[in-house]
Structure 1
Amino acid sequence: MAERKARVERNTLETQITVEINLDGTGKANFDTGVPFLEHMMDQIARHGLVDLDITCKGDLHIDDHHTVEDIGITLGQAFKQAVGDKKGIRRYGHAYVPLDEALSRVVIDLSGRPGLLMDVPYTRASVGGFDVDLFAEFFQGFVNHSMVTLHIDNLKGKNTHHQIETVFKAFGRALRMAIEMDERMAGITPSTKGAL
């Protein structure tokens, strides 16, 4: 099997980003983005998805976190799409339920080739440690638009906003892991009746 790795650089007037990803990793992560809470959440993707991530970003944080968070999502999506390749032999679909104390989230993903995000997370607070939680929708929208996946995210229960978000990212990592796993019964076959994704 070919290595499922990618390195993408994206430079704009607002952000300069480098993302390296290994879909067949061990969950190693290295981040230097200037946004600690985002890094904590991306660490969940790596650990629970068993993908290696190395992400650096120099962004216009003197304005706010928006451009940095959204553009990291975009660049991660580009790297993921490149690393996953032609999708032959993968499971394609993934899903996970993850609890954390009182919080419970469900994430379902389809590596469909069609970008779509349906995200329902009724946050109980507007920010965590000064981080605007609405920006996570921008992160996932950027990822979806550039990875060309369909993603459903639902926080089913939760009172603590940190717990709500963490269950979302853990479930996303686990759903991603399931979707990118190789299925030996589908070796060399595109998982679609159309013959292409």
Structure 2
Amino acid sequence: MNRTAKISRKTKETDITLELNLDGTGIAEIETGIGFLDHMVQSFAKHGFFDLTIKVKGDLYVDSHHTVEDTGIVLGQAIKQALDEKIGIRRYGSFLLPMDETLVLCAIDLSGRPYLNYQAQLTCEKLGYMDTELVKEFFYAISYSAGMNLHIKQMDGNNNHHIVEAMFKAFAKALDEASGIDPRIQGVLSTKGTVE
């Protein structure tokens, strides 16, 4: 089974190419033009064992909003494409990730029904050159373009870098579990017989 995706998306605001292998080893080559976002997405790939290449040219002379949001959109599209008909996947995944004083919960249902429940208390405006309010926009874009039910909840923590990094790592671990193949599952894990 070849669970890969290749996406290109070009608008007046961003030009993005992305390649994803869900069954990789965590090799990542990320170039968004935003150092903090690169670091977070590299952590996502590493801890989820996803091979991921992203090249982004964005209108960073405006701000980082379009680049962050559109990167999330394309990553979500790639996840959806790589999962194809979702045959044999576990569908559900969750992870409670500690990082020093921080604790973050992430839970996923690859149901085809997009929804984001994001609960975090970030207390600074920026991490590097990335606005912290865009963390939610990134995960919103992924959840809606991938068609996933995504819950991310900060349980504890006060260091903003730790909180956001724990979110990306918890998301990686939960997605790795949810997208994993279980040989006991015949077809898709749904009484309806389909997961759209």
The two structures have a TM-score, normalised by structure 2, of: 0.98
Q: Determine the structure 1 residue equivalent to 2:2.
A: 3
Partner deviation per Cα, 1:21-52 (whole Å, 9 max, x = no partner): 00000000001110110011111111111111
Q: Determine the structure 1 residue equivalent to 2:166.
A: 167
Counterpart secondary structure, 1:105: strand
- The structural deviation recorded for 1:79 is 0.8
Distance in 2 separating the partners of 1:28 and 1:59: 23
Q: Determine the structure 2 residue equivalent to 1:195.
A: 193
Cα RMSD after superposing both structures: 0.8
Q: Determine the structure 2 residue equivalent to 1:85.
A: 84
Counterpart secondary structure, 1:172: helix
Distance in 1 separating the partners of 2:52 and 2:46: 10
Distance in 2 separating the partners of 1:192 and 1:49: 24
- Give the aligned residue type for 2:68: V
Give the paired residue count: 195
Contact 2:103 2:155 in 1 (8 A): yes
Q: Unaligned stretches of 5+ in structure 1?
A: none
Q: Unaligned stretches of 5+ in structure 2?
A: none
- The structural deviation recorded for 1:127 is 1.6
1:57 equivalenced with 2:56 (yes/no): yes
**What is the 5 A alignment of 1:10-159?**
10-159=9-158
- Give the aligned residue type for 1:95: S
Distance in 2 separating the partners of 1:175 and 1:165: 15
Distance in 2 separating the partners of 1:44 and 1:107: 15
Distance in 2 separating the partners of 1:5 and 1:129: 31
The two structures have a TM-score, normalised by structure 1, of: 0.97
Contact 2:16 2:71 in 1 (8 A): yes
Instruction: Write out the 4+ residue segments of structure 1 that deviate beyond 2 Å after TM superposition.
Output: none
Quote the sequence identity (%). 49
Distance in 2 separating the partners of 1:83 and 1:130: 31
- The structural deviation recorded for 1:53 is 0.5
